[in-house]
Amino acid sequence: MVMERPTGDAARRPPAVGRQIRRWRSERGLTLAKVAKASGLNVGYLSQIENDKASPSLSCLSALSSALDVPIAWFLVDETRSPEVTRLADRRWRETRGGRASRVDARGSSDISIIEVTVEPGHGTGVHSHPGDEHHYVTAGRFRMTQGEHVTELGPGDYLRWDGLMPHDAEAIGDAPASMLIVRLTRHGEPHD
């Protein structure tokens, strides 16, 4: 696939940073005069920058970054994508042996998956493996977590991390169903389920 480069005015137009600079100045409750003093720039020039009538150099952006205490990259962010929201009622659940599981993140990312698991007492996932680190946070009940010779019991609020590539099993123990959140991190290029 060949990427086309912008031509004409679009190719020569510097990025508009004024709105973001004004935003961060306002959020910090600073006047143009205070930012001018902190950055070493004059008020008139700052006003032109905020109204996109002047294009600041990198050294100018660096001075403004220090004065406003924000990374320079924040000035170049034109629009923020709206957050992704997955409602409980919209999540799909799949039945597992003795329980059920649902992707909390609705498959919104290619390098992370967040899974909620509920397991009936005496049931487990069965020994399995997959690439990537796996983080477990128990929200209710108790689990016996087994990976090789390592066996650990976890209760509500307990956390465990392990390498998912090593065979492992999680079994609900006790008299009540157990649930946990699993955050699975997959390194770039690894398969993701």
pTM of the model: 0.56
The more confidently predicted of residues 6 and 118 is: 118
Q: In what order do the strands lie in the sheet with 142-147?
A: 150-154, 142-147, 169-173
β-strand pairing of 159-163 with 99-103 = unpaired
Residue pLDDT, tens place only, 6-15? 555 545 566 7
pLDDT of residue 1: 42
CA distance 185 to 105: 13
Confidence of residue 185 (pLDDT cuts 50, 70, 90): confident
Task: Check: CB of residue 125 under 8 Å from CB of residue 180.
Answer: no
pLDDT of residue 33: 94
Helix axes 18-27, 58-68, angle to 10 degrees: 20
Task: Check: CB of residue 87 under 8 Å from CB of residue 44.
Answer: no
**Percent with pLDDT over 70 in the chain:** 83
Q: What is the mean pLDDT of residues 170-176?
A: 94
For residue 43, what are the contacts with CB-CB under 8 A and spacing of at least 6?
A: 32, 33, 36
Phi, psi for residue 158 in degrees, rounded to 5: -80, 155
